[in-house]
Structure 1
Amino acid sequence: MNIPFYISLLLAGLHAVAHGELPPNHHNGHDPNEAKYHMHHRGEAIACLKLVPNNADFAFQFFKEVTLEAPNKNIFFSPVSISTAFAMLALGARSATQTQILEGLAFNLTEIQEKEIHEGFHNLIHMLTHPENGVQLNMGNAIFLTEKLKPLKKFLDDAKALYQMEAFTTDFNNPTEAQKQINDYIERKTHGKITHLVKDMDPQTVMLLASFVFFKGNWEKPFKPEHTEEREFFVDAETTVKVPMMHQTGRFDFYFDKELSCTVVRLHYNGSATAFLVLPAKGKMKQLEQTLVKEVIQEWSDHLFQRLLRLYFPKFSISGSYEIRNTLSKMGIVDVFTDRADLSGITGAPELKVSKVFHNAALDVDERGTEAAAATAAEIVTFSLPPTIEFNHPFLMLIFDRDTNSTLFIGKIVNPTIAS
């Protein structure tokens, strides 16, 4: 009988919230150390590129599965967090268990070697968490182990080197103390955003693997709080709620996708993060959910153009907590959750299986950010009112890192007044 352990995937996302904490970086090109940095940066980017299409395929396949399971609910998750945690787990997996994990993460093992996958994730983590990004984005992994469980030195060394993993000894026989240790660690790493992730811990747990992402960004063009006003949001045909709606008039990256009947507006954060706000026509959300793939995002990117708009976008906070074992099983990651699991690369013997997989996500969107140096009114030269785009019914929000083309977060906001 395999011994169970839990995987918790943790995410705290704070968007457009702090004034001037991380100003955009400007390079003058005269520092030789800076030149060395950029050469190294390019090398890492090339290594990451091999992962980009696979990580994107996994992200949108996972999104499809989650929307099928919860068709009328808010959704918010970090595909890069899930991919990273399971790629790290694959370090300790063997035989069919390892193959299923990597193929479930959308890797074609005839085209990419396992070593390349791990090196790619190592470079991805480093690039995403590098302070030159201009946003605060912290990724990390931790393993909590019972004292009796002795992991192989090679697994610990590789996980630390490739995935920045920290290891802790935990007394799971004392569930209250174990929960406190893990929750305190997560609260610290997510800057207080996630405080009680682990509850009702099974005393039979021998290992808990945690992955977290924390994001904090400033809008490149912040909204002015005095322009925020309460307006209606149409959840469905029967439900209307009042939401604080942010407002801004200016030139935005815009595209209308006729085939999918949706409006796309792109907003930038200071640094390398970008948000795609996608508003399907009423009744077209399901079609959009099931046809969303990386090629669609690429088409939007290719066709965006600057347009003068009156933009209304809700100010909201949502969070999502998911037990994603069944979702991953539908995507082909099966054996690791059963007595057929072979995680002998962790302990030297195939005596472990994953019993539960938790993913916790949180998102705050508000007006604040670094103050714009120039008024946007200078861009507006018109006597008639520009077109109005109002995100006043269910929409998608996708957040990408431009340096690595990584899908950081995917959200579906059905009701912005419901926090979870």
Structure 2
Amino acid sequence: MQKRQPQSQWLFNMNPTSLFSFFLCLIAVAGDRVYVHPFTLFAYNRSSCKDLENLIQEEKTFVPIFIKSQAIPAYEEQPKPEMQSLGANGKQRLSYLKDLVYVLGARFYGAVRETRKGQNILLSPTSIYGSLVSFYLVASGQTAADLQDFLGFISPSGDPDCTSKVDGRKVISALRTIDDPLLTNTADDLFFSKLSCLFSAPNVRLAEPFVRDLALAGDAFYARAVDFTNPRQAVEQINTFVEAKVTSRSSNLLTDIDPTTTLLFTTEIHLKANVKKASQLKEPQEFWIDSSTKILVPMMSVTGLFQYKRDARKHFSITTIPITKNALLVLVQPINGNDLNTIESEISLQSSDWLQDLSPRRIKLSLPQLTLESTYDLQELFVNMNLSTLLGKEADLSKISSANPTVGKVINKAFFKLNNLADEEEDPSEQNEDVMPMEVTLNNPFLLAIYEENSKAMLFLGRVANPLNGV
């Protein structure tokens, strides 16, 4: 009998069209609501076709200032528009988009998992999705069509006019709706930031609308000119520049650059959170990397009413903790002798599955303090996914510049730090509930995810194989 292919491997090997068609079927049968094709929600309106053609013809261009300049260019000073009420259409867009983000994130997680066996993993599905949408905005021809399909927007018809294309600005706006509650958060127990940088070769003229859209997509945006023909100097300049702009201390972004590069794009997403009412345990606790290897790690403990479920069939448990009113931490732990590889091979096709069938339980949760950091070149991951031409040297990105640029790297960096808010060990006298809490201890490798509370979009997805390794 032929061995059944693991669900996740089957998922990651599917071509984008088949994958998304299958995913749409899951959505359609998931409820009794009237089905609206997501393409319709994000496509250009027919009335804007002529305007779109005029916009492409009349785009202004500019040359970014040099990376070592201390000036602040006008294109980086544009005020960000205030978020408007979503309305019915906006809510529908967000509902579909969060699922598209998850599917894409799951595919990239599968690619990373193949290259980092037994290691920590951390990536941001929303950040990766946003980076690819940014390139879709400036792509033409087959590159635009391929990116649109990869992002999950499969046209329901073969209509060749502009209504068969997705309006990338609508997608960027919806992604901002996900990020904005966290970017504007003022609570002491959470810090969230998103930084994007576009580096171009000297004298390369960039389209103003594209740069304006990038500036609106994140917390901060910078465009600078860099001489890539001196790779060592370019690496040093970019790392120094980015380090000066980020608010969290982290490792270097780049180690090398192809001297033929004329365009390089980077995005960093940082989240630092404190678990409310959690206390650090006085002594380091055992954490089993595998069945025969243990280490001692700093851990914290918190007792409260948390959402929980135990899946006896798939042998894992899920505990969710609100880390602020805008962010939800989801912890997935193997049980009954199961291991993380088995859980990962059966990872759900729908991100909402992890949030379903939960029930409130009084729990005493013990988990490691965490600092995770990962840097990925999306082009390298595309090679692992057999999609090397998607943003390769032959990609048509002519909308960004009259001289079609050569993309050197598309870097996505994710940083997550989880700590306790209290400084002292938990006071037993505060546990005056009649019901004894169930004890849940994360002392072996586990998965984590962080969702934005309102949209239920997945901001981070990761594996903790060793809490002492920051990736």
If the TM-score is normalised by the length of the shorter chain, which range does it land in? 0.7 to 0.9
CA–CA separation in structure 1 for the residues paired with 2:298 and 2:383: 39
Partner amino acid, structure 2, of 1:143: L
CA–CA separation in structure 2 for the residues paired with 1:249 and 1:232: 20
CA–CA separation in structure 2 for the residues paired with 1:210 and 1:394: 30
1:377 matched to which residue of 2?
430
Structure 1's 324 and 145: CA in aligned 2 closer, same or farther, altered over 3 A? closer
Shift of residue 121, structure 1, vs aligned partner: 2.1
Partner amino acid, structure 2, of 1:106: G
Query: SS where residue 356 of structure 2 aligns?
Result: helix
Residue 412, structure 1, aligned to residue 463, structure 2: yes
Query: SS where residue 308 of structure 2 aligns?
Result: strand
Question: Contact 1:125–1:139 (CA<8 Å) still a contact in 2?
Answer: no
Question: Contact 2:333–2:445 (CA<8 Å) still a contact in 1?
Answer: yes
1:284 matched to which residue of 2?
339
Deviations 1:254-309 (A, max 9, x none): 110223210100011123100100101233322211222353x4234221111122
- Specify every segment of 5 or more residues in structure 1 that has no aligned partner in the other structure, as ranges: 1-35
Deviations 1:12-70 (A, max 9, x none): xxxxxxxxxxxxxxxxxxxxxxxx97735887555433311111111112212222222
1:150 matched to which residue of 2?
205
Partner amino acid, structure 2, of 1:304: L
Query: SS where residue 336 of structure 1 aligns?
Result: coil
CA–CA separation in structure 2 for the residues paired with 1:57 and 1:121: 17
Q: CA RMSD in A?
A: 3.1
Structure 1's 353 and 183: CA in aligned 2 closer, same or farther, altered over 3 A? same
2:440 matched to which residue of 1?
389
Structure 1's 233 and 128: CA in aligned 2 closer, same or farther, altered over 3 A? same
Shift of residue 80, structure 1, vs aligned partner: 1.2
CA–CA separation in structure 2 for the residues paired with 1:125 and 1:151: 23
Aligned residues: 377
Shift of residue 241, structure 1, vs aligned partner: 0.8
Question: Contact 2:284–2:298 (CA<8 Å) still a contact in 1?
Answer: yes
Structure 1's 236 and 370: CA in aligned 2 closer, same or farther, altered over 3 A? closer
Between 163-172 and 256-265, the greater mean CA deviation after superposition: 163-172
CA–CA separation in structure 2 for the residues paired with 1:124 and 1:88: 11
Q: Percent identity?
A: 23
CA–CA separation in structure 2 for the residues paired with 1:401 and 1:294: 19
Bigger relative contact order (CA 8 A; separation at least 6): 1
Shift of residue 122, structure 1, vs aligned partner: 2.4
Partner amino acid, structure 2, of 1:251: L
1:361 matched to which residue of 2?
414
Question: Contact 2:372–2:415 (CA<8 Å) still a contact in 1?
Answer: yes
Residue 123, structure 1, aligned to residue 180, structure 2: no
Structure 1's 332 and 158: CA in aligned 2 closer, same or farther, altered over 3 A? farther
Partner amino acid, structure 2, of 1:390: T
Question: In the TM superposition, what are the counterparts of 1:86-165 in structure 2 within 5 Å?
Answer: 86-110=132-156, 114-130=165-181, 131-133=183-185, 135-161=190-216, 165=221
TM-score, normalization by structure 2: 0.71
- Specify every segment of 5 or more residues in structure 2 that has no aligned partner in the other structure, as ranges: 1-81, 158-162
Residue 210, structure 1, aligned to residue 210, structure 2: no
Shift of residue 214, structure 1, vs aligned partner: 2.1
Structure 1's 142 and 109: CA in aligned 2 closer, same or farther, altered over 3 A? farther
Shift of residue 191, structure 1, vs aligned partner: 0.8
1:310 matched to which residue of 2?
364
Question: In the TM superposition, what are the counterparts of 1:152-301 in structure 2 within 5 Å?
Answer: 152-161=207-216, 165-219=221-275, 221-225=276-280, 227-281=281-335, 282-295=337-350, 297-301=351-355
Deviations 1:138-192 (A, max 9, x none): 2242211122212234433444455674322223344455334422332233214
2:54 matched to which residue of 1?
none
Structure 1's 115 and 402: CA in aligned 2 closer, same or farther, altered over 3 A? same
Structure 1's 188 and 200: CA in aligned 2 closer, same or farther, altered over 3 A? same
Structure 1's 42 and 127: CA in aligned 2 closer, same or farther, altered over 3 A? farther
CA–CA separation in structure 2 for the residues paired with 1:251 and 1:185: 44
Residue 346, structure 1, aligned to residue 400, structure 2: yes
Deviations 1:124-151 (A, max 9, x none): 2254134544543222422111222122
Query: SS where residue 303 of structure 2 aligns?
Result: strand
Given candidates 83, 107, 110, the residue that maps to 1:61 is 107
Partner amino acid, structure 1, of 2:415: A
CA–CA separation in structure 2 for the residues paired with 1:366 and 1:95: 47
Query: SS where residue 284 of structure 2 aligns?
Result: strand
CA–CA separation in structure 2 for the residues paired with 1:138 and 1:113: 34
Question: Contact 2:270–2:415 (CA<8 Å) still a contact in 1?
Answer: no
Residue 84, structure 1, aligned to residue 130, structure 2: yes
Query: SS where residue 304 of structure 2 aligns?
Result: strand
TM-score, normalization by structure 1: 0.79
CA–CA separation in structure 1 for the residues paired with 2:331 and 2:282: 18
